[in-house]
Amino acid sequence: MYKDILDRLPYKSSFRFVDRLSYLSEDEVKGEFTLRSDAFFYEDHFPGNPVTPGVILTEIMAQIGLVTMGIYLVAKGVTKQSFDEPQVLYPLLTSTEVSFHKMVLPGDTVYVHSRKQYFRFGKLKCYVTMTDNEGRRIAEGTFSGVIKHVKQPVP
């Protein structure tokens, strides 16, 4: 579901933190990601007792809660920008304010729910929450950003 949006994510391989989107509209998005125990950041954070770094949790929240919605809004024509020409999307996070409430360990699945606060003048602002599989809050915060378009050069 929502494969067209997932295919537009500019992240690849070890830095793509979206496994699935379960809901997506102009006002909210829900998605999930399972943290693989062999992820590059667990080797050194912390040896023998791996814990997911807060910056990775923030990135998961941003990718699911802000970037996918921004791409969706652009694709739906909510902005004057479109995907008619080949272009590269560069999501730029402009600000975050995140509170963390619980640790996330290798193998855990996290669930992200984002609600749009506003989208105007090319800037998207959302309130994003992350929970575990029992609905307990892991983190929450406000994310803002823009999606910049750069036309791909014709070969």
Cα–Cα dist 40/50, whole Å: 11
Catalytic residue among 45, 101, 113, 149: 45
Cβ contact 102:132 at 8 Å? yes
Sequence length of the chain is: 155
Are the CB atoms for 44 and 36 separated by under 8 Å? Answer: no
Is residue 101 among the annotated active site residues?
Answer: no
Query: Residues with catalytic annotation?
Result: 45
